[in-house]
Amino acid sequence: MAKIVPFKAIRPTRDKAYLVSSMPAYIYPKHLLEAKLESNPYTFLHVINPEFRADNKTQPNTVERFQNVREKFDEFNNEGIFIQDSKESFYIYRQITKTNTYVGLISGISVDDYLNGNIKIHEHTLTQREETFKLYLDVCQFNAEPVLLTYEDNPTVDTIINKYINTRSEYEFCTTHHIKQDLWLVNDENDISTLVEAFKNIKSIYIADGHHRSASSVLYAQSKREENPNYDKESKFNYFLSYLIPESKLNIIEYNRTVSSLNEHTPESFIEEVSKSFEIDEKMTTYSPIKKHNFSMYLAGKWYSLTAKKGTYNEDDIVGNLDARILTENILKPILGIKDLKTDNRIEFMEGTRGAEGLQMKVDNEEAIVAFGLYPVSIEQLKAVADANNIMPPKSTWIEPKMRSGLTIYSLED
């Protein structure tokens, strides 16, 4: 079972929602981030970057920097850019892109579901990043970007959501990325009760995106509990901000690889080595993988299909059967000498949304020498890894929707 709770969101006024909401700051290149900060006084990026144009800057990820974040957040509140709902609510959030519609429920979810394994993970987290975000929560006392969670489709939840999306939304706007955004408030007590009960019957929840944010929220809650062993179990620190989306609405996209060196191989000798583990078929046009264990490769102006030969992977190994691991164990490590994907600067990762064209451009522009396209991981594979308490290789998935910051802020202050 999963315990979800409604909350009184701090959020932009209706007229400013499209100006306030933003992608996380780290998504933007420096020049674009500065342009947005310069041109839009309402963007939530000002809260996250409170020292824009300031002469005296604090060090990133310090108490002093986070205090400035909190001061800027208070300034947005005092200026009436933000309001806080008077009733505890759930929030239905929808994104409509050119190819997909994503719709789910924004809520608080219990840290105990994470601790007892009801919320399942498929990625390792870095202790330093966990501690940094915990410090942010300690100082700032709010969470502005939901963790993306997924669950098996539930008809009761769908019925409530469908009831609202046929009405006028509280927010309705389109971003410059051509993504339509809608938000509805669910504050009817019967609907809230129905949703809470429905999630009690959902056995497992899976983190799709936001492993560090969820782990940090758990660390924060544990520290508060240690401070007061007689803590109130309904205090806000016992929950973290989440966006719950059914599996059928989740979009798992491939995460591709480019490499800047052939490790002293010529293209010809490299292909010869690859052919020991893969069936190779040269293609006359741009190529993308068509099934599991099939890869694309772009090298020296040519596209190839690579299909892993039997014996190069173990079908019974949940992680070893993943295409990201097959590529690493049969090409990246033994042929290209890339032992650690996290630290070797010869390898880069490219989200599948950029397609085969993005891979080809990277090589043609001489920013890489070879590119590999992977077939997307399925939701069944992701769940199998998480259910077995295993971890996926780095950068195995690019998952959408990508959440925006500042639309529904979860306050940690009781």
Q: What is the pLDDT of residues 59-99, one digit of tens each?
A: 999 999 999 999 999 999 999 999 999 999 999 999 999 99
H-run or E-run covering 46: helix 45-48
Contacts of 296 (CB under 8 A, 6+ apart): 287, 288, 289, 303, 304, 305, 306, 356, 359, 372, 373
According to DSSP, the β-strands at 119-120 and 205-209 are parallel
- Quick check: helix, strand or coil at residue 152? coil
**Structure-block tokens of residue 21:** 């909401």
Beta bridge partners of 174: 180
Report yes or no: 194 and 160 within 8 Å, Cβ to Cβ. yes
**408: pLDDT confidence band, cut at 50, 70 and 90?**
very high
Contacts of 88 (CB under 8 A, 6+ apart): 5, 6, 7, 8, 187, 192
pLDDT of 238: 98
Which of 148, 239, 155, 247 has the alpha carbon at shortest distance from 201?
Answer: 155
At 357, which amino acid appears? E
Instruction: Dump pLDDT digits (tens) for 317-347.
Output: 999 999 999 999 999 999 999 999 989 999 9
252-400: what fold?
3.30.1760
Question: Whole-model pTM?
Answer: 0.93
Contacts of 219 (CB under 8 A, 6+ apart): 130, 131, 134
**Structure-block tokens of residue 146:** 């939901």
At 235, which amino acid appears? S
**Which 8-state DSSP code applies to residue 250?**
-
% of the chain surpassing 70 pLDDT: 100
The arithmetic mean of pLDDT across residues 142-164, rounded, is 97
* Maximum pairwise Cα distance, the chain: 69
CA–CA dist 207, 127 (Å, integer): 18
pLDDT of 43: 97
Which of 136, 133, 143, 20 has the alpha carbon at shortest distance from 67?
Answer: 136
Contacts of 297 (CB under 8 A, 6+ apart): 274, 303, 304, 305, 306, 370, 371, 372, 373
Each domain of the chain, given as residue ranges in start order, spans 4-251+401-411, 252-400
Res. 25: pLDDT tops 90:
no
According to DSSP, the β-strands at 278-283 and 142-143 are unpaired
Instruction: Dump pLDDT digits (tens) for 233-291.
Output: 999 999 999 999 999 999 999 999 999 999 999 999 999 999 999 999 999 999 999 99
What count of other Cβ atoms lies within 10 Å of the Cβ of residue 336? 23
Instruction: Dump pLDDT digits (tens) for 115-128.
Output: 999 999 999 898 99
Alpha carbon of 123 to those of 209, 219, 395, 408: distances in Å? 9, 17, 9, 26
Q: Cα 365–368–374 angle (5° rounding)?
A: 115
Res. 232: pLDDT tops 90:
yes
Q: Cis peptide before 401, with omega less than 30 degrees from 0?
A: yes
Res. 110: pLDDT tops 90:
yes
Instruction: Dump pLDDT digits (tens) for 174-216.
Output: 998 899 999 999 999 999 999 999 999 999 999 999 999 999 9
pLDDT of 164: 98
Report yes or no: 187 and 89 within 8 Å, Cβ to Cβ. yes
Report yes or no: 151 and 202 within 8 Å, Cβ to Cβ. yes
Report yes or no: 262 and 409 within 8 Å, Cβ to Cβ. no
What does the H/E/C string look like for 311-376? CCCCCCCCCCCCHHHHHHHHHHCCCCCCCCCCCCCCEEEEEHHHHHHHHHHHHHCCCCCEEEECCC
Ordered alpha helix ranges (H), 59-210: 63-78, 111-115, 127-140, 155-165, 189-200
